[in-house]
């Protein structure tokens, strides 16, 4: 104890305002669990947190492979954290190959501290020993300092099979380095392993303590991350869990889905608790049946939800067209991934905006919203349900893999009956009111529901008149299409112009949507600090677009979007624009510029800073107008 | 209307056939669909089904115009997709009466996946598959049930392959609970089959051989002209047959709808056209028993349950 106490005095205490930690391992070694636990603990202690999953594409990729890197990035701070950030400050790697994968991804940088399990240096297989040795030299030549940590051999002192346990030992180590409240950690562990029994809990507590004690005596640094006291109740979860809870808060009772990454975990979260609020998850035979079932349930009175990702959206478009044409309320969650086709199933992309916008042949106007935080993932579902019913049609909520797996604390929402769906109206229908009694100005109409006496009508996907009679008269289609279209104008008239982040006028306005908000605002803040005249604007409604954009854009010399979908770089004559830029150019007739990347990961703020600096440079040289 | 205790009940209603009749059916004269429409309207009247409690769901095709001709709630949706919609309607509305009209193309071609899974879900509804062995609405293309060699606009030299057998498919689906076959040209058997399907608790699949006077007038001629080529399956748990039916279809046999092996053999017979009930299993699980759970939960219960779930994420 004396030596330990003496050592502790030698440990350098560094005060930090934020840090990025990564834990990476082979798939199945529990780095994700350890990362999630660490993030939760930090959130519970009052820190700002944003976590990102590092996921291999396969369930059981080969051991010690770069493609198999699995784990978690946890960005923690004194203040709220809004994105995954740039280079990691501390990385714990279970082998050198997974570390390579993170270096290739640009996750590390100068100054990143690397803690690497040294078990490979005495591995019985010579080629593994050599690979390890080679990698160590390689890392050193890249300028990284590696701290070899006897993770596995220390775990052997506690358990017979360290493969199942290294992660918790590492969690203990992190808790020492970041001075986490060990009692809180123990409570979380007990909760996590409750279902596996007391023996599992005890073993993990022992591993935790061993990792903690080892770091206390061997690590030469501790980080002090202050918290701001805030007693307001908060929740911590990922975006897909937030959507699941939002679905319950919306009073939605049917979630109809077909498994697809990265959307499926919404239904996992729902399936574990939906029955407690009287709902159920329908796993349909395919994507088409999933939305068809939801449309049927909605038609019968209770607005349903379907959740999908790009390839599923492609299959659902025919029913989306029907929901627009026959005006059936429906909530469609699209957790976007890389596309086209099977694309990048586990990776981040925002390239379904136009697919959603144009989903269905023919003229199919629909509402499209995009939450920008985990908190909005929760709140947008009840909102989408209400809009779907009021505007009688499908409402898209576009999230992405970044929000789906990102974990962030947010204020606990107040529950109220107001967000729950009303009971199915079974009152007698006034037969004077037609089933599509479109209001001339708004396009809105009340909807009879099966069971309502005198409300009988046959819904049809054919062009139809106010009575839902098949249109044999050519003027009906013009009128009906006009009415459906006018609903978007009606909604837009109720929206407020979006708030500019930063000065209300200046040289450059950066427009974004969805999960990029945190990174864009962080980059813009940095540039503002450097004296640049840059502001940001984030859109939640993509269809209809929020009002007042022309007026806001006119106050800036240049307007550009930042997005995670494809665009050509530079102002070439036949340039293809990023998707929001495409919409904004069409909507405002302003020469909106863009910068976008499709590399599969969340845009780091430093990359945005660099891209924006380049744009500002080009603008000031007058290279583009 | 007076109740038996002679108390006047101002809200009570008595429905007549007209209460179920909507737009004039636009099917061709002589089309078998008219017979099915008459049978369903008669059933609604006989069962006194409140029109607002009755939903007709269909896909796309001639027979899928059915809902437009019924004065009930209707859902005339997408080609091949009637069944997912009908299952969605059923999921939270156990009290509604649901009928599905679909065709051989709608059900056995573009909607095959849903057909198979809907039989497995076994949610309470009557599914009428109008089989005229041709795509009529799109003007004479080969259907999956068109006989080999049958000429159409897509196969003018004749269909290359033997037809798919919908009954054999149905009988092979795990959890199928009611599989019947009937013909449009015998109104009594048609009516009794649909009625038995309606009374069945679960998904009743009824294949109706339906004449298309425009494109396949010849298709069922031999069975119509030579009724002994029709094999009438009878059983106390089967489709009730009265004397008129027995007089027309003299070739009959006892078939226990619990006998799945014999059902398969009968389905494969190509020397005769079997009508009646192939399969009935009242023990088949019903998915709607699960999907309706929690339908009546109060807002208070929901909010307190949701509050407890939020606690799990609380920090």
| Count of domains for chain A | 4
Q: How far apart are CA A610 and CA A615, in angstroms?
A: 9
Long-range contacts, B253-261 (Cβ 8 Å, 24+) = B260/B171
Q: How far apart are CA A296 and CA A200, in angstroms?
A: 46
Q: Are residues A338 and A260 in the same domain?
A: yes
Number of neighbours of residue A85 by Cβ within 10 angstroms: 25
Q: How far apart are CA A410 and CA A233, in angstroms?
A: 9
pLDDT tens per residue across span B21-31: 998 999 999 99
Q: How far apart are CA B88 and CA B100, in angstroms?
A: 13
Name the closest residue on chain B to residue A241, using Cα atoms. B313
Q: Do B87 and A296 touch (CB under 8 A)?
A: yes
In a domain? residue A230: no
With residue A172 as reference, give the H or E element that holds it: helix A166-177
Examine the fold and report which residue of A477, A494, A511 is the final residue of a domain before the chain moves on. A494
Of the candidates A156, A173, A175, the residue with the CA atom closest to the CA atom of residue A165: A156
Structural domain of A476: 426-494
**Does the beta carbon of B161 lie under 8 angstroms from any beta carbon of chain A?**
no
**Does the beta carbon of A235 lie under 8 angstroms from any beta carbon of chain B?**
yes
Q: Are residues A147 and A195 in the same domain?
A: yes
Strands (E), A259-404: 280-283, 305-308, 330-336, 367-369, 394-400
Average the pLDDT over A490-515 and give the result. 98
Tokens 């099917």 map to which residue? B27
Q: Where are the domains of chain B?
A: 17-312
pLDDT of residue A228: 81
pLDDT tens per residue across span B84-111: 999 999 999 999 999 999 999 999 999 9
Name the closest residue on chain B to residue A459, using Cα atoms. B75
Average the pLDDT over B266-271 and give the result. 96
pLDDT tens per residue across span A461-491: 999 999 999 988 889 999 999 999 999 999 9
Q: Do B315 and A40 touch (CB under 8 A)?
A: yes
How many CA atoms does the CB half-sphere of A487 hold within 13 Å? 27
Q: How far apart are CA B27 and CA B34, in angstroms?
A: 7
Q: Are residues A433 and A370 in the same domain?
A: no
**Does the beta carbon of B67 lie under 8 angstroms from any beta carbon of chain A?**
yes
**Does the beta carbon of A24 lie under 8 angstroms from any beta carbon of chain B?**
no
Is residue B156 within 8 Å of B182, Cβ to Cβ?
no
Q: Are residues A552 and A430 in the same domain?
A: no
Name the minimum distance, in Å, from the CA of B127 to any CA of chain A: 16
pLDDT of residue A61: 85
- Residue A64, SS3 per DSSP: coil
pLDDT of residue A300: 98
pLDDT of residue A501: 98
Examine the fold and report which residue of A418, A440, A462 is the final residue of a domain before the chain moves on. A418
> For residue A57, what is the domain's CATH number?
3.40.920.10
> For residue A578, what is the domain's CATH number?
3.40.50.920
> For residue A261, what is the domain's CATH number?
3.40.50.970
In a domain? residue A102: yes
Confidence of residue A164 (pLDDT cuts 50, 70, 90): confident
Q: Are residues A441 and A527 in the same domain?
A: no
CATH class of B17-312: alpha beta
Which token pair is A173?
Answer: 């180590």
pLDDT of residue A3: 52
pLDDT tens per residue across span B224-241: 999 999 999 999 999 999
> What does the radius of gyration of chain B's CA atoms come to, in whole angstroms?
21
Which of the residue ranges A154-163, A363-372, A496-505, B140-149 would you say has the lowest mean pLDDT?
A: A154-163
How do B97-103 and A500-501 pair as beta strands?
A: unpaired
In a domain? residue A625: no
Confidence of residue B8 (pLDDT cuts 50, 70, 90): low
Name the minimum distance, in Å, from the CA of A272 to any CA of chain B: 10
Which token pair is B311?
Answer: 């606690």
- Percent of chain A at pLDDT > 90 equals 89
Q: Do A275 and B77 touch (CB under 8 A)?
A: no
Q: How far apart are CA A199 and CA A201, in angstroms?
A: 5
- The sign one gets for the Cα dihedral A551, A557, A563, A567 is positive
**Does the beta carbon of B55 lie under 8 angstroms from any beta carbon of chain A?**
yes
Which token pair is A342?
Answer: 């099977």
pLDDT tens per residue across span B169-211: 999 999 999 999 999 999 999 999 999 999 999 999 999 999 9
In a domain? residue A229: no
Q: Are residues A353 and A442 in the same domain?
A: no
Name the closest residue on chain A to residue B90, using Cα atoms. A297
> What does the radius of gyration of chain A's CA atoms come to, in whole angstroms?
27
pLDDT of residue A8: 54
pLDDT tens per residue across span B156-174: 999 999 999 999 999 999 9
Number of neighbours of residue A369 by Cβ within 10 angstroms: 22
**Does the beta carbon of B298 lie under 8 angstroms from any beta carbon of chain A?**
no
Q: Do A456 and B50 touch (CB under 8 A)?
A: no
pLDDT tens per residue across span A175-219: 999 999 999 999 999 998 999 999 999 999 999 999 999 999 999
The number of C-beta contacts closer than 8 angstroms across A and B is 196
- Which residues lie below 8 Å from residue A260, measured CB to CB, with a gap of 6+? A287, A308, A309, A311, A312
pLDDT of residue A1: 42
**Does the beta carbon of B85 lie under 8 angstroms from any beta carbon of chain A?**
yes
Helix and strand numbers (H, E) in chain A are 20, 23
Q: Do B299 and A450 touch (CB under 8 A)?
A: no
Is residue B61 within 8 Å of A269, Cβ to Cβ?
no
Q: Distance between terminal CA atoms of chain B?
A: 64
Which letter, b or e, does each residue of B172-201 get, where b requires 16 or more Cβ atoms within 10 Å of its Cβ? Answer: ebebbbbbbbbbbbbbbbbbbbbbbbbebe
What are the chain A neighbours of B55 within 8 Å (beta carbons)?
Answer: 300, 450
């Amino acid at each position: 104890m004396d030596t330990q106490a003496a050592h502790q005095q030698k440990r350098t205490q560094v005060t930090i305002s934020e840090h990025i930690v990564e834990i990476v391992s082979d798939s199945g070694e529990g780095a994700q669990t350890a990362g999630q636990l660490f993030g939760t603990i930090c959130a519970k202690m009052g820190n700002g947190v944003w976590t990102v999953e590092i996921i291999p594409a396969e369930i059981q990729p080969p051991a010690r492979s770069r493609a198999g890197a699995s784990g978690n990035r946890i960005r923690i701070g004194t203040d709220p954290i809004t994105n995954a950030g740039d280079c990691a400050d501390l990385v714990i790697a279970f082998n050198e190959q997974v570390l390579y994968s993170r270096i290739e991804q640009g996750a590390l940088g100068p100054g990143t501290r690397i803690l690497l399990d040294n078990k490979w240096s005495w591995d019985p297989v010579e080629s593994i020993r050599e690979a390890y040795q080679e990698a160590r030299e390689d890392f050193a030549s890249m300028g990284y300092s590696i701290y070899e940590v006897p993770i596995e051999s220390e775990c052997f002192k506690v358990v017979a099979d360290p493969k199942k346990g290294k992660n918790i030992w590492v969690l203990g180590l992190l808790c020492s380095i970041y001075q986490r409240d060990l009692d809180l950690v123990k409570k979380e562990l007990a909760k996590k392993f409750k279902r596996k029994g007391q023996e599992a809990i005890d073993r993990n507590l022992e591993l935790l303590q061993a990792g903690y004690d080892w770091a206390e005596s061997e690590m030469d640094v501790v980080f002090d991350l202050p918290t701001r006291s805030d007693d307001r109740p908060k929740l911590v979860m990922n975006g897909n869990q937030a959507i699941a809870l939002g679905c319950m808060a919306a009073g939605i009772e049917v979630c109809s889905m077909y498994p697809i990454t990265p959307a499926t975990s919404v239904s996992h979260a729902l399936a574990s608790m939906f029955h407690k609020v009287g709902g159920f998850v329908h796993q349909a035979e395919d994507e088409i049946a999933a939305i068809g079932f939801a449309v049927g349930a909605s038609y019968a009175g209770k607005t349903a939800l379907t959740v999908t990702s790009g390839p599923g959206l492609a299959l659902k478009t025919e029913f989306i067209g029907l929901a627009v044409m026959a005006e059936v309320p429906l909530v469609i969650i699209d957790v976007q991934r890389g596309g086209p086709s099977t694309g990048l199933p586990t990776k981040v992309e925002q390239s379904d905006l136009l697919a959603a916008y144009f989903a269905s042949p023919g003229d199919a106007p629909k509402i499209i919203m995009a939450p920008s935080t985990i908190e909005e993932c929760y709140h947008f579902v009840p909102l989408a349900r209400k809009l779907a019913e009021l505007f009688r049609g499908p409402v898209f909520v576009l999230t992405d893999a970044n929000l789906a797996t990102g974990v962030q604390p947010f204020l606990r929402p107040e529950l109220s009956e107001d967000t729950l769906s009303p009971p199915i109206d079974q009152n007698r229908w006034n037969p004077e009111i037609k089933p599509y009694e479109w209001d001339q100005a708004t396009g809105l109409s009340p909807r009879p529901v099966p069971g309502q006496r005198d409300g009988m009508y046959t819904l049809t996907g054919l062009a139809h008149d106010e009575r839902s009679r098949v249109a044999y008269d050519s003027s009906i289609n013009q009128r009906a299409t006009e009415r459906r279209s006018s609903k978007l104008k009606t909604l837009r008239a109720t929206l407020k112009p979006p708030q500019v982040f930063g000065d209300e006028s200046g040289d450059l306005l950066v427009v974004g949507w969805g999960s990029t908000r945190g990174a864009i605002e962080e980059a813009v803040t940095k540039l503002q600090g450097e004296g640049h005249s840059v502001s940001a604007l984030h859109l939640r409604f993509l269809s209809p677009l929020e009002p007042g954009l022309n007026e806001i854009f006119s106050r800036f010399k240049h307007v550009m979007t930042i997005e995670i979908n494809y665009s050509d770089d530079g102002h070439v004559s036949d340039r293809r624009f990023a998707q929001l830029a495409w919409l904004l150019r069409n909507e405002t007739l302003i020469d909106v510029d863009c910068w976008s990347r499709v590399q599969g990961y969340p845009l780091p703020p430093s990359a945005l800073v660099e891209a924006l600096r380049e744009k500002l440079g080009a603008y000031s040289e007058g290279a583009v107008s | 209307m007076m109740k038996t205790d002679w108390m006047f009940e101002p809200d009570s209603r008595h429905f007549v056939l007209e209460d179920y009749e909507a737009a004039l059916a636009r099917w061709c004269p002589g089309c078998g669909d008219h017979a099915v429409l008459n049978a369903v309207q008669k059933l609604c009247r006989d069962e006194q089904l409140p029109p607002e409690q009755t939903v007709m769901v269909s896909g796309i095709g001639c027979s899928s115009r059915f809902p437009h001709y019924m004065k009930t709630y209707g859902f005339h949706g997408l080609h091949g997709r009637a069944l997912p919609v009908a299952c969605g309607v059923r999921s939270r509305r156990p009290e509604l009466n649901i009928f599905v009209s679909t065709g051989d193309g709608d059900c056995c071609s573009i909607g095959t996946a849903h057909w198979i899974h809907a039989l497995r879900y076994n949610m309470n509804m009557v599914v009428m598959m109008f089989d005229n062995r041709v795509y009529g609405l799109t003007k004479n293309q080969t259907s999956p049930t068109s006989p080999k060699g049958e000429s159409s606009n897509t196969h003018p030299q004749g269909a290359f392959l033997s037809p798919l057998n919908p009954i054999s498919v149905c009988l092979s689906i795990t959890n199928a609970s009611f599989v019947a076959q009937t013909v449009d040209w015998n109104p009594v058997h048609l009516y009794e089959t649909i009625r038995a399907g309606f009374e069945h608790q679960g998904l009743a699949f009824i294949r109706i051989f339906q004449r298309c006077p425009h494109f396949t007038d010849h298709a069922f001629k031999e069975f119509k002209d030579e009724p002994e080529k029709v094999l009438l399956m009878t059983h106390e748990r089967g489709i009730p047959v009265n004397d008129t039916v027995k007089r027309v279809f003299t070739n009959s046999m006892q078939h226990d709808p619990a006998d799945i092996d014999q059902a398969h053999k009968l389905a494969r017979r190509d020397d005769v056209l079997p009508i009646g009930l192939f399969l009935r299993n009242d023990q088949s699980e019903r998915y709607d028993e699960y999907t309706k759970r929690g339908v009546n939960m109060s807002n208070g219960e929901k909010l307190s349950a949701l509050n407890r779930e939020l606690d799990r994420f609380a920090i």
